[in-house]
Amino acid sequence: MQKRMLFVFNSKAGKGKIKTKLPEIIDIFNSHGYEVIIRSTQARRDAYEQTKLYHDKVDLIVCSGGDGTLDEVVTGVMEVKSKIPIGYIPAGSTNDFANSLFMPKTMEEAAENIMQEVPYHCDIGRFNSQTFAYVAAFGIFTDVSYQTNQDMKNVLGHMAYLLEGVKRLFDIKSYHLSIECDQLTVEEDFIYGMVTNSRSVGGFKNLTGKNVDMNDGLFEVTLITMPKNPMELSEIVNGLLTQEDNTDLIHSFKTSFIRIKGREPVAWTLDGEYGGEVAEVEIENMHQALNLYLKSTRKAAEIEENPPYLI
C-alpha cells in the first residue's frame, strides 16, 4: 500500500528558494513510495490548520519554511495528541532549530535525510496551554523577529534583525518577576529571559550555553537582570560573550520546569513568533514528545562532544 505524506511549505520563507526546488523535492518523496499532498501556506497559522486537518489521513508530515512554520506544525501535532512523525526542510532566515540538530544544508539533502526514516525523539516545550519547539523568550529584542517585515528578511537576512533591534537599544524596559524552579528562587528586575532547547538563538551559536542535549528532558535557561550603570551593562555583555559564570547579573541553569510571575503581563515570543502577553507562566519540558525523521549528519568529533541520538 502506498504511503501518504502532507508536505506543507511557506513559499515566502528565506528568499523563496523552495519555489525552485519543489520538483526535485517532490521527486525524492515519490521515489521513496510516497503519495504527496502539497499545501502552500496562505496565511499565518495555515500550517497549523493543515496539520490538524491531515494528521490522521497521512503517514508523515513534512514542512518547509522558517522556525515559525515548524512551530505551527509541532503545535498542531501536539494539540491533537498525534504521534505522527515529522520531517523538516529548513528554509528560513536563521534556522536555529535545524542548525541545532545538524540538519543538512541543502533542501535536497534534507529531503533525502527525511526519507531514511530514522526516528529522533526531541524534547519540546509547554508554555501554559501552548507549545513551542525550541525557545520561549521575553524582553529586549525578542519582538524583532515577528515585527521585521518578511520582504526585509528575504533581502537583508540577519542584518534585518540587527537593524530592527538597534531601534530598541535606547528604550530598554525591565520586568519585575519572581522565578521559581528547583534550581533557583529569586525576585528581581529582568530585561531579558529565554527558556531554550537549542544550540543557537537568533543565528548566534552557543548563546544558550554548553553541553546542550536536545532530548535530555532539560531546558537551558538564561535570565538577565536590569543593569544599574554602564559598568554592570559591560559585565553582562562580557558574560554573554565569554560564556563564563562570573557575574551575578546573569542567571544560567538547566531545568525541566519553571514558573515565572510578573506584576503585569509580559510579552513573549515562541520560536520567533508572537506568543501573547501573560502575567504568569508555567513552562514544562515535554521529554522526547516530538517524533522527527532525522538521521544524524554530525562528525565523529561532534558526536563525541554531544550525546548521540536516542532512537
Of the pLDDT bands very low, low, confident and very high (cuts 50, 70, 90), residue 207 is low
160 Cβ contact partners less than 8 Å away, ≥ 6 residues apart: 93, 148, 149, 152, 153
- CA 114/CA 136 separation, integer angstroms: 26
Q: What ranges do the domains of the chain cover?
A: 3-125+289-305, 130-287
Residue 179 CA neighbour count, 13 Å, CB half: 26
Q: What is the pLDDT of residue 17?
A: 82
Q: What is the DSSP string of 249-269?
A: TEEEEEESEEEEEEEEEEEEE
Q: Looking at residues 7-11, what average pLDDT do you find? A: 94
Tens digits of residue pLDDT in 134-150? 999 998 766 544 444 44
Look up residue 134 and give its DSSP letter: S
Please say whether the beta carbons of 178 and 187 come within 8 A. Answer: yes
Residue 162 CA neighbour count, 13 Å, CB half: 7
Q: What is the pLDDT of residue 111?
A: 96
On the question of a common fold for 3-125+289-305 and 130-287, the answer reads: no
Please say whether the beta carbons of 134 and 101 come within 8 A. Answer: no
Tens digits of residue pLDDT in 230-250? 787 777 777 766 666 677 888
Fold topology of 3-125+289-305? Rossmann fold (3.40.50)
Which CATH number does 130-287 carry?
A: 2.60.200.40
Tell me the pLDDT of the chain averaged across its residues.
82
